Amino acid sequence: MFESLKKYNSFHIDSIAKYFVTIENEQDLVPLQNNDSLVKSKKFILGGGANILFVDDFDGMILHSQINDLSIIEETSDYAIVQAGSGCKWDDLVEFALSNNLYGIENLISIPGSVGAAPVQNIGAYGVEQQDSFYSLDAFDLDTFKKTTFSKADCKFGYRDSFFKAPENNNKYFITQVRYKLSKREQLNCDYKDVKEAISKKGIKNLNAKILSQVISEIRNSKLPNLNEIGCAGSFFKNPFVSAEKAEELKSIYNDIPIYKNGDSYKTSAAYLIEKCGLKAYREGDAGVYDRHSLILINYGKASGRELFNLSKKVQNIVMEKIGIALECEAIIVESDKK
Provide the annotated active-site residues: 160, 235, 330
Q: Which stretch binds ligand EPU (CB under 6 A): 8-16, 69-77, 291-299, 302-310?
A: 291-299
The H or E element containing residue 100 is none
Taking alpha carbons only, the member of 56, 118, 220 closest to residue 212 is 220
Between residues 177 and 235, which has the closer beta carbon with respect to ligand EPU?
A: 235
* Using rule CB under 6 A, residue 22 touches ligand EPU: no
Between β-strands 16-23 and 58-65, what pairing exists: parallel, antiparallel or unpaired?
parallel
Q: Would residue 199 be called left, alpha or beta, if left means φ above 0 and alpha means ψ between -120 and 50 degrees?
A: alpha
Range 205-224, binding ligand EPU (CB under 6 A): 223-224
* Using rule CB under 6 A, residue 280 touches ligand EPU: yes
Q: How open is the CA angle 228-106-89, to the nearest 5 degrees?
A: 40
Q: Which stretch binds ligand EPU (CB under 6 A): 63-71, 206-214, 287-295, 313-321?
A: 287-295
List the one residue from 11, 44, 126, 309 that touches ligand EPU (CB under 6 A). 126
* Using rule CB under 6 A, residue 294 touches ligand EPU: yes
Q: Would residue 10 be called left, alpha or beta, if left means φ above 0 and alpha means ψ between -120 and 50 degrees?
A: alpha
Q: Around Cβ 255, how many Cβ atoms within 10 Å? A: 7
* Using rule CB under 6 A, residue 234 touches ligand EPU: yes
* Using rule CB under 6 A, residue 91 touches ligand EPU: no
* Using rule CB under 6 A, residue 275 touches ligand EPU: yes
List the one residue from 30, 244, 258, 328 that touches ligand EPU (CB under 6 A). 258
Query: How far apart are alpha carbons 253 and 116 in whole angstroms?
Result: 41
Between β-strands 58-65 and 147-151, what pairing exists: parallel, antiparallel or unpaired?
unpaired
Residue nearest to ligand EPU (CB): 234
Least distance from ligand EPU to the Cβ atom of residue 59, Å: 28
CA distance to 72, 238, 314, 315, per residue, from 283 (Å): 46, 20, 11, 11
List the one residue from 163, 272, 282, 309 that touches ligand EPU (CB under 6 A). 272
Q: Which stretch binds ligand EPU (CB under 6 A): 64-72, 162-170, 240-248, 269-277?
A: 269-277
The H or E element containing residue 79 is strand 79-85
Q: Which stretch binds ligand EPU (CB under 6 A): 66-74, 94-102, 136-144, 268-276?
A: 268-276
Query: How far apart are alpha carbons 268 and 238 in whole angstroms?
Result: 10
Query: How far apart are alpha carbons 84 and 90 in whole angstroms?
Result: 9
Contact 62, 20 (CB under 8 A): yes
Positive/negative CA dihedral, 93, 95, 99, 104? positive
* Using rule CB under 6 A, residue 54 touches ligand EPU: no
Least distance from ligand EPU to the Cβ atom of residue 181, Å: 22
Range 320-339, binding ligand EPU (CB under 6 A): 330
* Using rule CB under 6 A, residue 269 touches ligand EPU: yes
Between residues 55 and 224, which has the closer beta carbon with respect to ligand EPU?
A: 224
Residues lying near ligand EPU in the complex (CB under 6 A): 125-126, 194, 223-224, 234-235, 238-239, 258, 269, 271-272, 275, 280, 293-295, 330
